[in-house]
Structure 1
Amino acid sequence: MHELAIAQGIIGGACEHAAGRRIFRVTVAVGTLCAVVPDALRFCFELAAEGTLAEGAELIIEQVPARGHCHRCERDFTLHEPIPLCDCGSADVDISAGTDLRIRSMEVSDPCALPADAAATARR
């Protein structure tokens, strides 16, 4: 299951950029050719987040469709199968989208102000 390694990478990158702030939500774009199972990634994200700034954070997965360009007919098209074949029958295809996985955004909190010392405040 490569989703665990992916989830650990997402958590590591998010925590690094959070600069000590608590992470509430992480949005990732996942290409359909990455062979990532969304439910498995969510499960692994929860496991990998335990004990980190992202513990309890929500993971939002945006699926990015695979796109290709056929050199024979010069057509751009959406890939519906993992094997890049154009409708014209050509396999001379460049994949232009759907293979990447990236963190698109994350929602973090700023640390709250420290509460006033009740004993010191009462003496004033």
Structure 2
Amino acid sequence: MNINIVKNGLTVELYKKIRDTVGFKSYEDGDIDEAIKHSLYTVVAYDGEKAVGIARIVGDNRIAFFIKDVVTIPAYQNKSIGHLLMLSIFEYLDQHAAKGAYVGLMSTPGKEKFYTKYGFIERPSEGFGSGMVMFYEPKK
């Protein structure tokens, strides 16, 4: 296994392919393209020529960041690919985040421990209410 991390190399095709391997919600190509274009940072992990993991950051690039789509294909899970993706994300944050910046994410059920080892706090907890989410349907 020879893992290479490529910064800002995420494409619509890779996004769909990697997310599909874990059964994540699908989106229209145009929507994915816009999401990638408006991401602050993307990262793709390759084993040789094969894309095996992705991650991205969205936010205001100073005070608020949200980590999205940290996904490793099943055959490569538990082989430190996610760790390499997170290291690349923290490298970006080290260069752009203000002191005390908010960095959020939503964990897939059962994967919380992966994130707590990097300092993320599970919610609800003392001083922090529950995180919330909605899947918005535009009224067009």
> Which fold has the larger relative contact order, with Cα–Cα distance below 8 Å and residues 6 or more apart in sequence?
1
TM beyond 0.5: no
Higher Cα Rg, which structure? 1
In the superposition, the TM-score normalised over structure 2's length comes to: 0.27
The structure whose residues are more often strand, as a share, is 1
